[in-house]
Amino acid sequence: MSDYDVVVLGGGPGGYAAALYAASAGLSVALVEKEKVGGTCLHRGCIPAKSLLHAAEVFRTVNHAAEHGVRLPEGKPEPDWPAANRRRAGIVGQLHKGLSGLLKRRKVTVVDGWGRLTADGAVSVDGDTLRGRGTIVCAGSVPRAIPGMDVDGERVITSDHATNSEADRLPERIAVIGGGVIGSEFASVYTDMGVSTTLLEAMQHGVLPIGPDRDVADVLARSLKRRGTDVHAEARVGALERTGSGVLVPFETPKGSEKIEVEQVLVSIGRLPATKDIGADEAGVRIDGRGFIEVDTTTMETSRPGVYAVGDCVATPGLAHVAYAEAVVAVDRILGEQPVPVDYGKVPWVVYTHPEVAWTGMTEAEAREAGYEVEVHKHSMAGNGRAMILGETDGLVKIVAQKDGPVLGFHMVGPWASELMHEGYLAVNWEALPSDVGRLIHAHPSLSEAIGETMITFSGRSLHG
C-alpha cells in the first residue's frame, strides 16, 4: 500500500491538471493512467484535430493565393495527407513529452495500469493499493456508437480514428454522421481538402444544432454549403451496407429517402463517459442512467465522501478547459479551502471550423425564455477592413444584453473567433454594460473592431454600423 495526499484516476486534462495543481500546492500526488498521459484531448481529440484543421486552412489559403497577388507557377496545389499526419503526430509527441516532463518535475508519481476504486475509497492498480485523503476520478469518455453502424476503423470510423490516421491519402467521398462540434469540424477539414463531403444531422438544423446562437451557426452552415459540403438536416440514417469499394448510406429526410455510396463514414454523434469497470459500485459512488458520475458541482465531490470526479465522466460541458477548472475546484476542496464553483452557463465554447464559431453565455432565445427583456445588436464582418485584407469576410458578432443592463451572451463567427471571443467572455462574466465596453478603444484595422462596433450600438449611436 502506498499513501499520498491525492490519488488521481485518469491522466486526461482533468487528471493531469488536478495532479499538477495539487503538486504545486505541496501535496504528494499519484496519477494512474493505463495509456499515455494527456488523454483524449492530447492524443485523439483537441490537439490532433486542430492540427488537421490548420492543415486544411493552409491548403485553402494556398488555393486562394492568386487572389492575394501570389502566383503558383507549377499549377494547383495538392494535399499531402501523410505529411499533415506526420506534423500532427509530431505536435502531439512534443506536447506529450513536455507534459510528462512537467509531471516529473512536480514530483507526481505516474502509475501505469488500469485503476479501480475499492470499497474503502482507495485505488487498486495491478494488485497495489494507492490511498489518498482525496481521490479524484477523471475517467474520460469514448465515442458514442449507433446501432447498425459497426465501427471497423477503416470504412466506418470515429473521431478517434480520424485523428490518428496513418492512411496515405484522403477518401474521395465521405459521409459525416452528426453535425455537432466534432462533425462540423471534420466536415470543414474534409471539404477544404477537396473530399466530397456529405453531412447528415438528425436534428432540425444540420450544422451546430445545439450550442451557439442560431444567427451565428447559420453563417457557418452557409459557408460549408457554399464550399461544397452537402448538408442534410432531419436526416435519419439507416443500417450501413458494405460494398466492394465503400459503404452505402441510406437516410431519410422530410424531402424523401436517399442512398449514397461513399468510401468512408465518420460517426460523430458525441461521446459517452468511460465509467464502466472503475469500481464505482464497490466504492459507493453513484452513477446516473447515462453513465455519468453524480457530483456536487460546488465541490465536485461524489456520493462517497473524499472521492471527487471531474471532466468528461461528469454531466458538465465536455471541454478540456472545463475539466481544468473542475480540477482546481476539487483540489481546493481537498486542501480545505473554499472553492469557487464553475459557472457552467458562462464557459467559453469554440468550434474550430472555417469560419470559426465561439460563444459564451445565453443565446437570444435562451435569454427571452429566461424572462429577460432583451436588447440585441449584430455586426457583420463583411465591412471589417482586417477581414477584407485576410479575404475572410464570412462572419458576424452578436451581443445579447438585458435592456439597459449587462451583457448576457456573446456569439461570434469569423476569422480567429477562438481568440477574439475572450473579450466577450470577460464582459459576460463581469456583467459588463455593453456601452461601457464600447467606449474602450479597439485597434484599427483589427478584427476585434467588430466587437467594439457592436458594443457601441447599445448606446443608440454607432460609427460604421
Question: Hey, which residues are catalytic here?
Answer: 444
- At residue 131, φ and ψ (nearest 5 deg) are -120, 135
State whether residue 27 is helix, strand or coil. Answer: coil
Contact 186, 159 (CB under 8 A): yes
Q: Strand 356-361 vs strand 349-351: parallel, antiparallel, or unpaired?
A: antiparallel
Residue closest to 166 by CA, chosen among 244, 84, 96: 84
- Number of Cβ within 10 Å of residue 347's Cβ equals 18
User: What is the Cα gyration radius of the chain?
Assistant: 24
Beta bridge partners of 199: 176, 231
Contacts 24+ apart (CB under 8 A), 63-72: 64/391, 67/391, 68/391
Task: Annotate 97-123 with three-state secondary structure.
Answer: HHHHHHHHHCCCEEEECCEEECCCCCE
CA–CA separation, 309 and 35 (whole Å)? 19
In one letter, which amino acid is 313?
C
CA–CA separation, 176 and 260 (whole Å)? 12
Order of strands across the sheet with 196-200?
Answer: 156-158, 264-267, 173-177, 196-200, 230-232
State whether residue 371 is helix, strand or coil. Answer: coil
Q: Strand 407-414 vs strand 396-402: parallel, antiparallel, or unpaired?
A: antiparallel
Is residue 277 packed enough to be buried (19+ CB in 10 Å), middle (13-18) or exposed (0-12)?
exposed
Beta bridge partners of 115: 125
